[in-house]
Amino acid sequence: MSWRWSVLIAAAACAALVVILAKGFGKDPHEVPFMLAGKPAPAFSLQKLDGTGKITLAELKGRPVVINFWATWCGPCKVEHPVLDWGYRQYARQAEFLGVVFEDTVDNARSFLQMSPTPFPQLVDPQSQIAVDYGVAGVPETYFIDAQGVIRGKHVGPLSPDALTARIKDLVQPVAQAR
């Protein structure tokens, strides 16, 4: 092997390494990919926290849906709580709002909601099976499902009023306009 070939192979190996490292360092290693955007939202039928019956995703078809996964042990969820309350009052005519209690006890969730009630239904997800179906990787996470039952996206972390407004606007637009 001539020295030219050796140099060429070494340069190719270095270039490949640089590309791989650049790709790797360009990402947040803690960020969990979300693959369900643009796909049909997994169906569910969950009991309401107040014990007044069940809610299924199917019965909400034709209306955009905002689903918030939260827990009482989650500090950022408590920070987000008033934003969702405000969001519901502001946008209840445009979208359905639902809360899903994640990895928490019914008693904890009820006690918290007695002190800080929400105007929208809260649901119980036994053993977090619906959370896993939706690809939840921590709380708070909020999913935005359009009127056709397709997941438009999710917001990881506490929502701000601006972020919620932008998401709702996107949600009520037809798919072609949104892209």
CB hemisphere CA count around 82 (13 angstroms):
3
CB of 161 to another protein, least distance (A): 9
Name which of 133 and 170 has its Cβ closer to another protein.
133
Contact assessment for residue 69 and residue 100, using Cβ atoms and an 8 Å cutoff: yes
- The one-letter amino acid code at 171 reads L
Name which of 78 and 110 has its Cβ closer to another protein.
78
Q: Residue 160 and residue 50: Cα distance in Å, rounded?
A: 27
Q: Residue 159 and residue 157: Cα distance in Å, rounded?
A: 6
Name which of 29 and 53 has its Cβ closer to another protein.
29
Any idea what DSSP says for residue 134? T
CB of 176 to another protein, least distance (A): 25
Give the total residue count for the chain: 179
Query: Footprint of another protein on this chain (CB under 8 A)?
Result: 1, 9, 16, 20, 32-36, 71-76, 78-79, 103-105, 108, 127-129, 131-138, 158, 160
Name which of 165 and 173 has its Cβ closer to another protein.
165
- The one-letter amino acid code at 29 reads P
How far CA 11 is from CA of 3, 23, 57, in Å, comes to 12, 18, 55
CB of 150 to another protein, least distance (A): 15
CB of 18 to another protein, least distance (A): 14
